[in-house]
Amino acid sequence: MTDSPVLWTLDARGVATVTLNRPEVNNAYDGALIAGVLAAMDDLGSKPNLRVVVLKGNGKHFQAGADLKWINGVRPQSTDANEAASRATFEAVQRLNTLPIPTVALVQGGCFGGGTGVIAACDVVIAADNALFSITEVRWGLTAAIIIPQLCDAIGVRQVRRYALTGERFGAEDARRIGLVHEVVPLADLDVAGSRVVEQLLANGPEAMAETKRLALESSFGGMGVDDAAYTRLVRLHSVKRQSAEAAEGLASFAEKRGATWAGAKS
C-alpha cells in the first residue's frame, strides 16, 4: 500500500529498500510509523535471501524526528502508555542497530532528533550535500535518552556532549567530520552512491559480515538487549521526561510558534 507510513521492497539480489513514507510531515515518526518499522523488520526477517537493507525517506527530507503533535497527545496519558511509546521507539531503533544484515542509510534534507539516532544505528550512512542535522530534543524540554547509546557509538561522547546539549543544526560536511555520516555526495548522486556500497556489501560473505557486526556491537554503547536493565532505565527516563512540566512548556512553545519560557527575552 503506497499510503502506508513505511514501505519496503525486496529485489532478486536480496536487497531490501525500506522507505519512511510520511512526506507530508517530513517523515516525522508517530505510533503508526514506529509500528511500520517493526513490522517491516518482522517481514524482512522471515526472508531467507535477505542480504542488505537500504533505508530511505520519501520526499524532500529523510526524517524530522518525532511528530511533536503525536508526542503531545501521548504525554497526558498514563505512565504505562508513555513507557509503551518509548519502548516501541527504542525497539525500532535497536532492532535496526542489531539486525545481522548490513544496513545503509541514504539521507537527504532534514535529519533531526530521532532521525539522527536512526542513522547512528545503521552500518553505512551516505548523506546528500543538502542534508541538515540536529539532535533537537532539548529544544522542546525532552531528552534523547533512547538514542544516546547509538549516538555515542557513532560520534563519541565528546561530540554528543556538544550537539545533544546545544541542539544546534549542522550540515553534511560537519556530520562527516564527527562521524555521523561516512560520505557526502551531491543530491543527484545519492542513489548511485548507495548502489555502489550495496555492490561492495554483496561481494562479501553474509555470515562473515553478521559475525563482524555482532563482535563490534559487543564493545558498543548500543549493544544492549531489550531485556537489559540499562534498556529499562533509558525507556523510563525517556517517558518520564515527556510527562514533565518542562516538556509541557516546550511542546506548547512548538505548537504556539513561540519561544519557550526558559529562552528568555531576546536582546
All three cell numbers of 180: 555521523
Catalytic residue status for 218: no
Write the DSSP assignment of the chain as a string of letters.
Answer: -TTSSEEEEE-TTSEEEEEE--GGGTT-B-HHHHHHHHHHHHHHHT-TT--EEEEEESSS-SB-SB-HHHHHHHTTS-HHHHHHHHHHHHHHHHHHHH-SS-EEEEE-SEEETHHHHHHHTSSEEEEETT-EEE--GGGGT---GGGHHHHHHHHHHHHHHHHHHH---EEHHHHHHHTS-SEEE-GGGHHHHHHHHHHHHHTS-HHHHHHHHHHHHHTSGGG--TTSHHHHHHHHHHHHHHTSHHHHHHHHHHHTTS--GGG----
End-to-end CA distance of the chain: 51
Distance CA 29, CA 20 (A): 9
Q: Which of 175, 132, 176 is nearest to 26 (CA)?
A: 132
Q: Which of 91, 137, 173, 207 is catalytic?
A: 137
What contacts 84, CB < 8 A, 6 or more positions away?
none
Give the list of residues 6+ apart from residue 200 with CB closer than 8 angstroms, or none: none
Active site residues: 137
